[in-house]
Amino acid sequence: MQKKRRQPDPRVVRTRNMLKCALLELIGEKGYDSIRVQDIARRATLNRATFYLHYRVSG
């Protein structure tokens, strides 16, 4: 029996897209090395905790 693939939650898709767009904008403005998670969250108008719910940070 095959499992059905579930459609991704539109809220998750929208949130990840907002974070990705924010990152790309900031890279163009500040360069990659000077960007903080808080900068990305603020630009995406999301809470920093939301970033951590969607992405693992190494460092």
Parse the chain into domains and list their residue ranges: 10-54
| Percent of the chain topping pLDDT 90 | 80
DSSP string computed for 1-59:
-PPPPPPPPHHHHHHHHHHHHHHHHHHHHH-GGG--HHHHHHHTT--HHHHHHH-----
Domain 10-54 has CATH 2.60.40.10: no
Distances (CA, A) of 51 to 8, 13, 24, 27: 17, 13, 15, 17
pTM summary value: 0.83
The answer on pLDDT for 57 being more than 80 is no
* Residue 51 near residue 40, CB atoms below 8 Å: yes
